[in-house]
Amino acid sequence: MMSAGADGGGPALSTPERVVFSAGQIDRRVRELAAEISAAYMEVDRLLVLGLLKGSFIFMADLVRAITLSHQVDFLIASSYGAGTVSSGDVRLHYDPVTSLDGRAVLVVEDIVDSGTTLGRVLPRLQARDPSSLEVCALLHKRLDPADPAPRWVGFDAPNEFLVGYGLDHAEDFRHLPYIASL
């Protein structure tokens, strides 16, 4: 165990057990995804990349820098975990993008499809705003349920473990890790 602060205050944090995806593996896969996305949207002049915060922020930053066509960026914030390691099933939307989606090609960037609950609630809400297309790129997909929303692009199939790092957190800790690890 490691402590949260040098002064001994704050809760004790678990140490990640093992690296699941290394920084090098992630970097290579993000560049591959960006190339696939760039090719798919080559004819689109109004691509909007919409990041689902907070977990996608590092992945999205690397992805949008590697996409080779012109695009705009916005975010939405939704949560279903809180401090737990299992989705509460209660998706709360804390920030809804003000950018118009009407007639736009929209790419939602998600960190992980776990229970599918967040995407299942967010995608219909975005679709109601009349984009010309609505696709998802997820860094990780656990493939727990065939009924989960299917992202068009997936970085890695993920093990059914609680993962942290590269933007993924446990109670706001571990986002800074340059790799993805099992907690």
Clarify whether 173 is annotated catalytic: no
Residue 47 is predicted with a pLDDT of 95
Strands 133-141 and 47-53, bridge-based pairing: unpaired
Query: Tokens 């957190």 sit at which residue?
Result: 169
User: Of the residues 114, 145, 148, 173, which is catalytic?
Assistant: 114
Helix (H, G, I), strand (E, B), or coil: what is residue 22? coil
Percent of the chain with pLDDT over 70: 83
Contact 132, 103 (CB under 8 A): yes
Give whole-number Cα distances, 81 to 55, 168, 174, in Å: 11, 11, 15
Domains, the chain, with CATH or none? 19-81+90-182 (3.40.50.2020)
Q: Is the pLDDT of residue 132 over 90?
A: yes
Per-residue pLDDT, 77:
84
Pairing of strands 18-21, 180-182: antiparallel
Report pLDDT digits (tens) over 83-111: 444 544 555 665 567 789 999 999 999 99
Q: pTM of the full predicted structure?
A: 0.84
What is the rounded average pLDDT for all residues in the chain?
Answer: 85
H-assigned helices in the chain: 23-40, 57-66, 117-127
| Mean pLDDT on 23-44 | 97
pLDDT at res. 146 = 77
Whether residue 113 is predicted with pLDDT greater than 50 in this model: the reply is: yes
Instruction: Give the mean pLDDT of 6-14.
Output: 49
pLDDT digits (tens, 9 = 90+) for 157-169: 999 999 999 999 9
pLDDT of residue 4: 39
